[in-house]
Each structure stands twice: as structure tokens, then as C-alpha cells.
């Protein structure tokens, strides 16, 4: 019965992707892969895919969206998936899996319908095989023309975009520093205005500018973790995500003697598996309610208009303090007026930690 259901799922996936008239391995020769949405717990996840021997393969990292941890074992050239009590390894180019048996701390050999392959630097794995071995349910809905995966993985939600909306509090936040050009200017303005802010710092920048980091703390501002190297976490192995966070925490302890419990992901982008790691590390995931778009080189006038139109009680304002040309000139120029305008409207400026404590 299970075999029959698997065949139906595979058939549905092929119909859904309209690949039935294309020879099995054609896509492996293409430089551009097609993309389609696959629904995980009713959320559409756009993913590249390819067909091999009439089976659908997706990037191994796609499974991070299900909440499964995904890692690379260099020694055995295998992708390792972990979801709750299940742990499996797929050696690239082999038509089998190694599945961990926790009861006796051993591995047993399992089978695959087709092997995992490497293509353009990415590892692709058979969707249905991996999902089912991790205890997930895959089904194709012919009426909706969609593929659905029920992950059976629960991860506590962890995304904060605003604080208490009953008080006129607002938090200014700055990402990607510290550095030696814009950050001192921002600190000078904040000091003159008597306003605190929160700086989400990168580990590598912190290592390069410890004296500026010390000034941030000495002048009463709060800090948050913004990874070490600023990668897109969705595209990183789970162990790398954890390392990016922990390495930055360790750098902070070394420079200022303490570490934060707030984190902001680069590009504001995380998968369900990344959120699980944040939860395990007791880190609060801080997003924003007002995006100034200052990173794009927006003018002071444009930034002021955004902030004044979009700020509401409990708001979190996103700005930056990286140096890439003079992109942030408008942001720094707008800062004194942002403070003045919001104070005239009755807002009090607080750090993220104070905002969340309300």
C-alpha cells in the first residue's frame, strides 16, 4: 500500500511540475534550474528543483524550512538530516541512506529511489524519500495543482516586530557595524540628543573595531547579535548558523565582558530550523516595523517620510551603520530630525531590551 501511495505522490509531483515530456536527466545539463512552490505546513516555499530518473530532487537545504536540521559531513561526503528523534545521512552519489538507531547507538542501511547528487555546488536530494524518512507526509493535490508536506515538527515561534503598543515607545536600531566612519557620527548624534539605541553588531566588525564597540556600551546603548560574517542563514548548513551566532557571542564576551540575548538575522531571513537554533540558544529574534531603506542610498527626506508615516507605539526602526561608499549619508543626516519629530509626537526612545520588558 505504501509503495502504491509513493507512486501516486511521485506521479503527482511530475504532473505538477509539467516535466513528463522532458527526458529524465535533461535539467542536470541546464545552467538555469526551474523554480516552483512546494507547501510546507501550508506555507509556500519557492525552490529550485531537477528531475532524475523520474524523481523530483530539491536542494538539501530546502528541508530547513520544515524545521529539520541539515548539515554536511565532509568525511563521508554525506548530507545529514535531523528531525526530532530521527537522523539520516545521504551519501552523495549512493542509492542508500544510513539511519541512526538511538536505542543502541548504531546506524542501519536504508534504501533510496534515486541517489543524492551535486549540481552547481548544491546538493540535491530526493524530496519524497527524505521527507518520509524524517516522518513527514507528502501529498499532491490534483485539484489545487499543489504539493503539500506536513512536517510534524513543532518549533516555537520567535519573531518580534513590535513592542508594547499601548505606550508611545520606539526603539532605534542599527545593523552591520561597528565601523569607523558612520558609527562615531551616529553615536555623537545620540549623545547630543540624549537618546539610547540598539546596535546589532557583526562579530568580524567587532573584532576590527573593539574601541568603537566599547564606546557603544559605555554611552548606554544596547547590543544585539547580527552573526559573524553576515551570511544569508537560509543558505547555510545548520552547524554554520549555530557557529555564526556563538562565535559572535564569544567575541562580545572578550571585548565588553557580556553577551546579548537578542538577535537579528541578516536580511531578516530565517528558516524554521534556524529559529529552532535560536530557541535552543535562548536568543530572541528581533525584526522591525519600520524599514527606512537607508541601505539603498535613500535621501534624508525619503527616510524622514518613511519614519514619520510608519512609526506607531512600540515601533522598531531599522537603520544601518556599515560603510559602503556613502550610501548612509542620508540616514545619518536624517537621524537628528527623526528624533526631534518623534519626540514632538510624544514618543520616548528606548533600547530593544527596555521595549520588550514593557
Please report, for the chain, the start and end positions of each structural domain, with discontinuous segments joined by +. 2-150, 169-357
Phi, then psi, of 208 in degrees rounded to 5: -80, -25
8-state DSSP, 305: H
Site of grid cell 500500500: 1
Q: What distance lies between CA 68 and its chain's CA centroid?
A: 14
Q: What is the distance between the alpha carbons of residues 206 and 281, in angstroms, rounded to a whole number?
A: 21
Q: What is the pTM of this model?
A: 0.91
2-150 and 169-357: identical CATH topology: no
Instruction: Supply the pLDDT for residue 153.
Output: 98
What CATH number labels 169-357? 3.20.20.370
- Give catalytic residues, as residue numbers: 175, 320
Instruction: Supply the pLDDT for residue 13.
Output: 55
Task: Collapse the DSSP code of 151 into the 3-class scheme (helix H, G, I; strand E, B; otherwise coil) and give the result.
Answer: coil
Residue ranges in the chain modelled with pLDDT below 70: 1-31
Domain covering 2-150: architecture: 2-Layer Sandwich (3.30)
Site of grid cell 529539520: 68
Amino acid at each position: 500500500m505504501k509503495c502504491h501511495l509513493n507512486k501516486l505522490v511521485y506521479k503527482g509531483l511530475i504532473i505538477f511540475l509539467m516535466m513528463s515530456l522532458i527526458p529524465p536527466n535533461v535539467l542536470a545539463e541546464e545552467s538555469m534550474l526551474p523554480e516552483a512552490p512546494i507547501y510546507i505546513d501550508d506555507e509556500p516555499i519557492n525552490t529550485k528543483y531537477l528531475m532524475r530518473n523520474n524523481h523530483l530532487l530539491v536542494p538539501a537545504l530546502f528541508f530547513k524550512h520544515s524545521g529539520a536540521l541539515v548539515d554536511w559531513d565532509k568525511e563521508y561526503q554525506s548530507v545529514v538530516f535531523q528531525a526530532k528523534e530521527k537522523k539520516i545521512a545521504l551519501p552523495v552519489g549512493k542509492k542508500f541512506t544510513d539511519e541512526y538507531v538511538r536505542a543502541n547507538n548504531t546506524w542501519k542501511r536504508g534504501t533510496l529511489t534515486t541517489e543524492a547528487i551535486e549540481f552547481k555546488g548544491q546538493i540535491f536530494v530526493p524530496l519524497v524519500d527524505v521527507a518520509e524518512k524524517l516522518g513527514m507526509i507528502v501529498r499532491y493535490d490534483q485539484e489545487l495543482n499543489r504539493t503539500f508536506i506536513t512536517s510534524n515538527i513543532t518549533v516555537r515561534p520567535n519573531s518580534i516586530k513590535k513592542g508594547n503598543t499601548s505606550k508611545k515607545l520606539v526603539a532605534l536600531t542599527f545593523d552591520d557595524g561597528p565601523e569607523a566612519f558612520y558609527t562615531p557620527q551616529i553615536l555623537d548624534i545620540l549623545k547630543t540628543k540624549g537618546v539610547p539605541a540598539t546596535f546589532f553588531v557583526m562579530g568580524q566588525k567587532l573584532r576590527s573595531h573593539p574601541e568603537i564597540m566599547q564606546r557603544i556600551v559605555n554611552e548606554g546603548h544596547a547590543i544585539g547579535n547580527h552573526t559573524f560574517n553576515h551570511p544569508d542563514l537560509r543558505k547555510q548548513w545548520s552547524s554554520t548558523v549555530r557557529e555564526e551566532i556563538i562565535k559572535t557571542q564569544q567575541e562580545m564576551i572578550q571585548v565588553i565582558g557580556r553577551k546579548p540575548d537578542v538577535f537579528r538575522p541578516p536580511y531578516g531571513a530565517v528558516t524554521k530550523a534556524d529559529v529552532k537554533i535560536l530557541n535552543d540558544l535562548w536568543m530572541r529574534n528581533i525584526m522591525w516595523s519600520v524599514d527606512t531603506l537607508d541601505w539603498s542610498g535613500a535621501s534624508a527626506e525619503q527616510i524622514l517620510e518613511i519614519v514619520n508615516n510608519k512609526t506607531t507605539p512600540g515601533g522598531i526602526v531599522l537603520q544601518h551603520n556599515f560603510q559602503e561608499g556613502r550610501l548612509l549619508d542620508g540616514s545619518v543626516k536624517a537621524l537628528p530630525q527623526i528624533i526631534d519629530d518623534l519626540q514632538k509626537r510624544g514618543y520616548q526612545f528606548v533600547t530593544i531590551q527596555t521595549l520588550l520588558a514593557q
